[in-house]
Amino acid sequence: MAGVSGCLKYSMFFFNFLFWICGTLILALAIWVRVSKDGKEIITSGDSSTNPYVAVNILIAVGAIIMVLGFLGCCGAVKESRCMLLLFFIGLLLILLLQVAAGILGASFKSESSRLLNETLYENAKLLAEVTEEAKEFQNAMISFQAEFKCCGLVNGPEDWGNNFQSAKESCECTGTGTGCTPYHGYFIYSQSCLNVIKDLVEKNIIIVIGLAFGLAVIEILGLVFSMVLYCQIGNK
Q: What is the pLDDT of residue 161?
A: 92
- Specify the pLDDT at position 221: 86
How far from 145 is each of 41, 141, 151, CA to CA, in Å? 12, 6, 8
User: By the 8 A CB rule, do 152 and 172 touch?
Assistant: yes
Q: Which pLDDT value is given to residue 52? A: 53
**C-alpha–C-alpha distance, residues 151 and 143, integer Å:** 10
Comparing C-alpha atoms, which of 148, 144, 152, 165 is closest to residue 196?
152
Q: Please, which pLDDT band fits residue 138 given cuts at 50, 70 and 90?
A: confident
Q: 215-234: per-residue pLDDT in tens?
A: 778 888 888 888 888 888 88
Each residue's pLDDT tens digit, 9-55 = 888 888 888 878 888 888 887 777 677 665 454 445 444 444 556 66
At 64-102, the pLDDT tens digits run: 888 888 888 888 888 888 898 899 899 888 888 887 887
Higher per-residue confidence, 25 vs 110: 25
* pTM of the complete model: 0.60
Note the residue count of the chain: 237
Beta-carbon count within 10 A of 41 CB? 19
